[in-house]
Amino acid sequence: MGGCLSANGHGESANPPHQANQHKHPSQFNSVILFPPAKDVEDLRLIAGYGNVNVFTHEELRVATKNFRADQILGEGGFGIVYKGIIDENVRPGFMSTQVAVKVLNPDGVQGDKEWLTEVHYLGQLSHPNLVKLIGYCYEHDYRLLVYEYMPCGSLEKHLFRRKWMKITLGTAKGLAFLHGAERSIIYRDFKTSNILLDADYNAKLSDFGLAKEGPMGDETHVSTRVVGTRGYAAPEYIMTGHLTAKSDVYGFGVVLLEMLIGRKATDNTRPAREQNLVSWARPVLLHSRKLLKIVDSRLEGQYSNKVLNVVAELAHQCLNPNPKRRPTMDQVVETLESIQGLPEASNALLQTGGNSVTLFEVSKVGNDTGTDSSIKKEAASEAKEQGKRQKRHGNGRSKSEPSVDLNVLAPSLESHDKHDDEDPNSSSRIVEHS
């Protein structure tokens, strides 16, 4: 189910997508050079690299979704409505029966032709176990549709506080590491729970590549771009400067990791003011074992030892560092998560409440951060200074408090992104700033 199928339904094509070797390190998964992106739909017709992806007619997808019937709707986002469908002999002769998700572009929505082409550009060329598969697309007249493999368990947003979060976390980390390890890194730019889809076995896959962007080249330290993303997940230096790097994705990963660890959404306006932004509220106590145990999601009790929770908390703390250069790479994140997979998950014998530090990785000394806002540098320097004071007082490298970064203040403008945003006052909103 859900493979990139050819028109004959046998799942083969003359131009297979770039595959990831699962026996390699995540950074070595993707050594391919992507074709230049199509400038428009007509240009898309001329690019042979998408030969593995089907081109459907609007009529075929109308039949597949039962005339886009309301009871087939899976959800709605900034792109448009997503329908469940089945492509089989009745839709296209010779096509093996396949459950699909059909995303229909809303011409009046937040995203448009540019984002539609971006999705085809990346998912039409890349294949990885932790990226959703693009089966095909449709471009007829003003119609713009994308056809993906169907993910039965929906988005992580619906399963945020349930089991298997360690498996899900590792899968999403591998997906980001794969993107960052491309010949020219691919920055996902909108990492959040609603963009992480789960198959029947809770294997996590990244979806919605409409905002993805190629990273810096050569000696470049960043790419400058308009600020887009989702409040609560976007990295502070990106919001303040528009400077985008792979470390921006690492920050978003840290937010999702924190959501899963604490059992709260990234932003929640129903909570007291100081608790509405999860990162600002929770990050200062992530390195305090006793305090951490008071805020960790109680539903994780018995699933993971305190040792595992402490390591995950420290990893989240590092991913959320206000200075991007002090964040780990996604390869380092994958290594850390893989290293704790074999640890006992529910052993009381492994209780560690002494607050001892766990070294996850080494980071280089912070120098002059080109493209990093000066306030971030000051905060990083202040954090290092406080670190020295804490070592003298406590000898364990733990802080009683840390300065918070209020991203809500930094967001220039907010627009509703997901269908449920209109119904749920707690949900995050897409940040959009046009240059």
Known binding-site residue numbers for ATP: 103
What are the backbone angles phi and psi of residue 234, rounded to the nearest 5°?
Answer: -70, 140
Q: Torsion angle, CA of 253/255/261/266, rounded to 10 degrees? A: -140
The alpha carbon of 230 is separated from its chain's Cα centroid by a whole number of angstroms, namely 11
Cβ atoms of 265 and 426 closer than 8 Å:
yes
Vertex 129, ends 127 and 133: CA angle to 5°?
A: 50
Say which amino acid occupies 427: S
Burial 6-36 (b: 16+ CB within 10 A, else e): beebeeebeeebbebeeeeebbebbeeebee
Contact between residue 214 and residue 179 where contact means Cβ atoms under 8 Å apart: no
DSSP state for residue 228 in the 8-state scheme: E
- CA-CA-CA-CA torsion for 13, 18, 22, 26, nearest 10 degrees? -170
The strand order across the sheet containing 80-87 reads 54-55, 134-140, 143-149, 98-105, 80-87, 73-76
From the DSSP assignment, how many helices (H) and strands (E) are in the chain? 12, 15
User: Is residue 108 annotated as a catalytic residue, yes or no?
Assistant: no
Q: Which of 40, 43, 71, 190 is catalytic?
A: 190
Catalytic sites, residue numbers? 190
